[in-house]
Amino acid sequence: MENMKNIIILFIIILGSIFIIFFNFEDKEEIKGKLRIGVSDDTSGFVINYMVNRDYFENIKVSDIMDIFTINDC
């Protein structure tokens, strides 16, 4: 009985390893186009708009990579 349990555990480990190896070799993902960020029309939206308009993010041009749109929640 103990031998059968060890065989099942070994089979699960081998199957899991094959699964990880099979699905791990993907190409790097790239964002094509702009990253769209939806912000609400309350205080959190004001904070994000302030950070974008005041060049809060260093060494990047935010308008080149982000597109911000407002979500009306009420």
Residue 53 covered by a domain? yes
Task: Give mean pLDDT, residues 10-27.
Answer: 85
Report yes or no: 45 and 39 within 8 Å, Cβ to Cβ. Answer: yes
Output the pLDDT for position 74: 66
Residue 30 covered by a domain? no
Count structural domains, the chain.
1
Per-residue model confidence as pLDDT tens digits over 23-60: 876 666 666 767 777 777 777 777 777 777 776 666 76
Buried b (16+ CB within 10 A) or exposed e, 45-60: beebeeebeeeeeeee
- Residue 70 host element (H or E): strand 66-71
Output the pLDDT for position 9: 94
Give yes or no for residue 61 having a pLDDT over 80: no
Range of the domain at 66: 35-71
Output the pLDDT for position 28: 64
Residue 65 covered by a domain? yes
- Residue 12 corresponds to which amino acid? I
